[in-house]
Amino acid sequence: MVMLEKLKPKFWDYQDVAAGPYKHLFNFRRIWELAVMLVSLVALIPLVSITLIDYGVTQHSVESEVLLRTARLVSNTWRTVSFFLAQRISALDFVVRDNSYASLRDPERLSGILENLKQGFGGFVDLGVIDSTGRQITYAGPYKLEGIDYHDQGWFKEVADKGVNVSDVFMGFRRTPHIVIAVRHQLPNGSFYILRATIDTDRFNELLADLEVSGQGDSFLINKEGILQTPSRDYGKVLDKIPLPVPDFSPKTRVYEEEYPGDKHLVIGYAYIHDTPFILMIVKQKDELMKPWQKTRIQLIGFLVASMIIIVVVVLSVATYLVNRILIADQKRIMTLHEVEYSNKMASIGRLAAGVAHEINNPLAIINEKIGLIKDIFTIKDEFKGNRKLMDLIDSALSSVDRCGAITKRLLNFARHLDVKIQTVNLEEVISDVLGFLSKEAEYRSIVVSVNVPGDIPRFESDRGKLQQIFLNIVNNAFAAVKDGGKLDISAKREGTNLISVTFTDDGCGIPASDLERVFEPFFSTKTQQGGTGLGLSITYGLIQELGGNIGVQSEVGKGSSFIVTIPLKMGKKEK
Amino acid sequence: MKVLLVDDEKELVSTLAERLSLRDIEADWVTTGEEAIKCVELKRYDVAVLDIKMPRIGGIELKKKLEEKTPDLKYIFITGHGSEDDFMTASNETGAGYYLVKPVNIDELIRKMKEILLNK
């Protein structure tokens, strides 16, 4: 709360005393709030919108890129696997066309062909010739499989019908996973035989294992029942059923997204390999793939938050600064109004005083002359000579006339200078003129006023009227501060070649340190209850500024205050 | 020494004249500029004491008019607007002269008159 109180700008609780019916125009807090709200909205709405749009677009493009890359990988791998199988089917086709049925029934010839295929293509394990009844006539390979009857096996029927068959991976008699590729050859007599080769699935596995799949991806083959045909890293061993649904048939490569139990988001690409039971699947983890997006996202959000903070801070400080300026301008305006009012008042008082003094002066002069005449008669004619009593009366009347004359002279002198501009001024005279007005009060209250103007203070160019007002204000303040029997010391001093300073030191109540820097502020008053406007010292300050001078204050509570007025010996050209 | 006193306050000027007479100074008095011009035409004076502020013809203007008639006459101004500035203004407009502020001290007035005549 203390912090908030400190941060609170000056205008927050400010009430314009002179606003009258236009109070709403001077509600600075409302102006500030409106400015902050409007500028913030205008700046923040486009920023937030653009960032959100960019967020969406970037996220979408990263996702598309992920899907596209997966599709491309599936497509390439699919081509490799298809090519691998097609190559081997073509090789077998070539063998049956290049060799007669008779030569293929020769075990040695068949062994030679197997050897050539192993050397030439790799992956071939054994080779067998099967007649149309399903019996294996010749066999070349590591096992003893001649004479085995295949006629009731699915692949046999398939190849008899379609001419080519690629089997699922199976264990068979060999107890190792393998696939069988078989091609049918039609004989001229209408019968047929089948050349059947077993292919090591290791070659297959190598093909897929060599793939570098990003996003902790996994690539494998399944058959149409979802049984793994090659080992998978995450979804099981060969011939296990995968925990994912078998994707629908599609003639082309497809990519889709799937939720996998365990809160995993998967990107799955697949392709059916034509004329085989195989489906190629590549499974990636979306979170891994979207990692670059996470970084971009944090950057975007960071940018947004940083921008928003900067905007808000800038808007707040600019608005506060500007409204403070308006407040200062407003206070200056009110001060000027009061100053005008004040100087008008002074001028009126001056005119009144001059008028009164002048009117009194003439009858006073007559009284002076008449009494003078009486005195002359008494002095010159013998009959009244020596009448001490009468002479004393006359002298007393004359001295009263002198006193009245002094008062009217002082009044006229003071009033005249209210509108006189720059002239040559005698500092001592100005001070004694001012003190003349307050001498009675000083006398009644036993205030001791001492004036010390050293001889080296020259006459100088200044506005005597303003100097009078300045000194009068300061002396008035000092009188208000001191108790009866107090002390006021006025001393002048030369400051270098161009300045003089006049110090007014009183032994009054003093000013608390917290108020010290505010005493020259307009409307700062500790006596509002007693009718103070808080304008006296601020007007004094303004007048001194107009003379090109300065005023400073030192004070200690309970010990008294010193006001130091510095005045240039030559006024600038600027006249107000 | 012959003195002409000009002031619109009759009571003042007449009393002043009487007081001067008591001191053996021949003093005539008038209350307007016009009368003053007539007096000068009829009689020769050494010193004229003029009030600066008078109706119609003020002291300073009157001095100019009197100078046309009697080049030798000397002038002392008196004023009810007691301030040095008036003296300055008057001094600038009329050349060197003597000024006194009302209420006038008669001894001072006589001293000034003697001074001015000595400077002749």
Per the structure block, which two tokens stand in for A455? 């001889």
pLDDT, position A439: 82
Candidates B11, B85, B103; nearest CB to A401: B103
* CA A358/CA A360 separation, integer angstroms: 5
Cβ A518 vs Cβ A537: under 8 Å: no
pLDDT, position A337: 83
In 3D space, the residue among A441, A501, A510 whose CA is nearest the CA of residue A471 turns out to be A501
Cβ A238 vs Cβ A229: under 8 Å: yes
Per-residue CA distances from A283 to A252, A263, A280, A416 (Å): 17, 15, 10, 104
Interface test with A, best of B7, B20, B21, B83 (most A CBs within 10 A): B83
Residues of A within an 8 Å Cβ radius of B: 358, 361-362, 364-370, 372-373, 376-377, 380, 401-402, 405, 408-409, 412-413, 416, 420, 423
Candidates A376, A409, A423; nearest CB to B82: A409
Mean pLDDT confidence for A224-249? 88
Q: Provide the β-strand partners of residue A489.
A: A450, A505
In 3D space, the residue among A503, A477, A506 whose CA is nearest the CA of residue A490 turns out to be A503
Say yes or no to pLDDT of A575 above 50.
no
Candidates A369, A409, A412; nearest CB to B16: A369
How many Cβ atoms from other residues are within 10 Å of residue A154's Cβ? 11
In 3D space, the residue among A160, A162, A166, A159 whose CA is nearest the CA of residue A180 turns out to be A166
Of A23-27, A349-353, B17-21, B34-38, minimum mean pLDDT range:
A23-27
Say yes or no to pLDDT of B68 above 60.
yes
pLDDT, position A278: 92
Q: Report pLDDT digits (tens) over A546-560.
A: 888 888 888 888 888
To the nearest whole Å, the CA of B34 is away from the closest chain A CA by 22
To the nearest whole Å, the CA of B41 is away from the closest chain A CA by 28
Q: Report pLDDT digits (tens) over A29-75.
A: 888 999 999 999 999 999 999 999 999 999 999 889 889 988 999 99
Say yes or no to pLDDT of A393 above 90.
no
Q: Is B106 at the interface with chain A, CB within 8 A?
A: yes
Question: What is the average pLDDT value for chain A, to the nearest integer?
Answer: 84
* Cα atoms in the 13 Å half-sphere on the side-chain side of A172: 20
Q: How many domains does chain B have?
A: 1
A272 exposure class (CB count in 10 Å sphere: 0-12, 13-18, 19+):
buried
B38 pLDDT tier (thresholds 50, 70, 90): very high
pLDDT, position A353: 77
Per-residue CA distances from A497 to A11, A270, A501, A502, A566 (Å): 43, 99, 12, 15, 13
Mean pLDDT confidence for A448-463? 87
Cβ A526 vs Cβ A532: under 8 Å: yes
SS3 A435: helix
* Higher per-residue pLDDT: A230 or B88: A230
In 3D space, the residue among A292, A282, A393 whose CA is nearest the CA of residue A65 turns out to be A292
Whether residues B11 and A370 touch (CB distance < 8 A) is answered with yes
Per the structure block, which two tokens stand in for B30? 């008038």
B94 pLDDT tier (thresholds 50, 70, 90): low
Whether residues B18 and A373 touch (CB distance < 8 A) is answered with yes
Of A116-130, A316-330, B72-86, minimum mean pLDDT range:
B72-86
Q: What is the 3-state secondary structure (H, E, C) of A203-266?
A: HHHHHHHCCCCCCCCEEEEECCCCEECCCCCCCCCCCCECCCCCCCCCCCCEEEEEEECCCEEE
Q: Report pLDDT digits (tens) over A145-186.
A: 888 888 888 888 888 888 899 988 887 666 778 888 999 998
Say yes or no to pLDDT of A284 above 70.
yes
Say yes or no to pLDDT of B97 above 70.
no
pLDDT, position A28: 85
Say yes or no to pLDDT of A531 above 80.
no
A502 pLDDT tier (thresholds 50, 70, 90): very high
- Strand B74-79 and strand B98-101: pairing? parallel
Q: What is the CATH number of the domain that holds B99?
A: 3.40.50.2300
pLDDT, position A576: 36
Q: Report pLDDT digits (tens) over B55-64.
A: 888 888 888 8
pLDDT, position B5: 94
Q: Is the peptide bond before B103 cis (omega within 30 degrees of 0)?
A: yes
To the nearest whole Å, the CA of B71 is away from the closest chain A CA by 30
A505 pLDDT tier (thresholds 50, 70, 90): very high
To the nearest whole Å, the CA of A27 is away from the closest chain B CA by 50
pLDDT, position A528: 59
A112 pLDDT tier (thresholds 50, 70, 90): very high
SS3 A144: coil
Whether residues B19 and A416 touch (CB distance < 8 A) is answered with no
SS3 B26: strand
Mean pLDDT confidence for A479-507? 89
Mean pLDDT confidence for B100-109? 84
- pTM reported for the whole predicted model: 0.52
Q: In what order do the strands lie in the sheet with A254-260?
A: A218-222, A279-285, A264-272, A254-260
| CB within 8 Å of B119: residues ≥ 6 apart | none
pLDDT, position A269: 93
- Provide the ipTM: 0.83
Amino acid at A55: Y
Mean pLDDT confidence for A2-24? 70
Mean pLDDT confidence for A7-12? 77
Whether residues B16 and A377 touch (CB distance < 8 A) is answered with no
Mean pLDDT confidence for A451-474? 86
pLDDT, position B70: 87
Q: Provide the β-strand partners of residue A423.
A: A462
Q: Which residue has the tokens 């270098």?
A: A496
Per the structure block, which two tokens stand in for B95? 């050349």
- Owning domain of residue B85: 2-118
* Higher per-residue pLDDT: A537 or A490: A490
A-chain residues near B102 (CB < 8 A):
361-362, 364-365, 368, 405
Q: Report pLDDT digits (tens) over A289-317.
A: 888 888 888 998 999 999 999 999 999 99
Q: Is B101 at the interface with chain A, CB within 8 A?
A: yes
pLDDT, position A74: 92
Of A3-7, A279-283, B35-39, B110-114, minimum mean pLDDT range:
A3-7
B-chain residues near A364 (CB < 8 A):
102-103
Say yes or no to pLDDT of A92 above 50.
yes
Whether residues B102 and A365 touch (CB distance < 8 A) is answered with yes
